[in-house]
Amino acid sequence: DKNSYFTGVNITITAGPTQEALDPVRYISNHSSGKMGFALAEVAQKIGANVTLISGPVQLSTPNGVTRLNVTSALEMHQASLSGLKNCDIFIACAAVADYRAETVAEQKMKKQPGIDELTIKLVKNPDIIKDVSNHQNRPFCVAFAAETQHLEVYAKDKLKRKNVDLIAANDVAKNGQGFNSEKNALSVFSSEERFDITLADKKAVASQLLKIISQQYALKNKG
């Protein structure tokens, strides 16, 4: 049945932004809406997968039948992602994880200092979640996203190798009306051997096409 090709397959998807606290009332984050990850979760569930959605703070309702784990920071998303790997066949990293977090989070609200016009906050690197997943002993089939503004293919293929993933879904964020915080998306998907292009469409249609590519590549890998 072509509509249930993911029956019994456990898929974990990360989605949305992360928030990195500076103090009890402030944080560093980004404009990710979570829509692409939630669309993937909804479609994957409909085609038979057992879906776990690890979501940063977003304004979206949980798709029917999907198990949702809410997280705030990159460290929490990292922890939730790694602790679920025993039961994961396919991992799709769709979240816009903050690259850095504050080295120390102030316990009290930081006060404006009279006469001091500059403030320096030291940031430290967050773990690369998909890289740690793809190098784990219980390695699932791994898919990462890449947002690029130029040299799409070169950068995407480099990321495929560096992150040790099976597929990379790249979008050209320099083009208007697609990707980040938009209703639509277009993707170029790369494996180490092939390229698949998904033309501009609403995120649910794109999710459905991407999942088809994933299922084919996943089946290929399990055979080989």
Name the site residues for ligand C5P (rule: CB under 6 A): 14, 74, 93-95, 97, 126, 128-130, 144-146
In whole angstroms, how close is the CB of 177 to ligand C5P at the nearest point?
21
3-state secondary structure of 162: helix
Residue nearest to ligand C5P (CB): 129
Comparing CA positions, the residue from 200, 147, 193, 149 lying closest to residue 170 is 147
Helix H or strand E segment including 106: none
111 labelled binding-site residue: no
CA distance 75 to 202: 31
What b-and-e string marks burial along 99-115, b requiring 16 or more CB atoms within 10 Å of the CB? eebbeeeeeeeeeeeee
Choose the catalytic residue: 30, 70, 138, 176. 30
CB of 121 to ligand C5P, least distance (A): 19
130 is in an annotated binding site: yes
Task: Determine if residue 163 is labeled as part of a ligand binding site.
Answer: yes
Which residue in the block uniquely carries the two structure tokens 């006469």? 115
Q: Which is nearer to ligand C5P, 47 or 93 (CB)?
A: 93
Q: Any catalytic annotation for residue 171?
A: no
Cβ-based nearer residue to ligand C5P, 51 or 93: 93
Q: Of 81, 65, 102, which is closest to residue 15 (Cα–Cα)? A: 81
CB of 115 to ligand C5P, least distance (A): 37
**Closest distance of CB 222 from ligand C5P, Å:** 22
Instruction: State yes or no: 129 annotated in a binding site.
Output: yes
- Asked if residues 98 and 28 have their Cβ atoms less than 8 Å apart, the reply is yes
Residues annotated in a binding site for CTP = 99, 109, 127-130, 145, 159, 163
Residues with catalytic function: 30
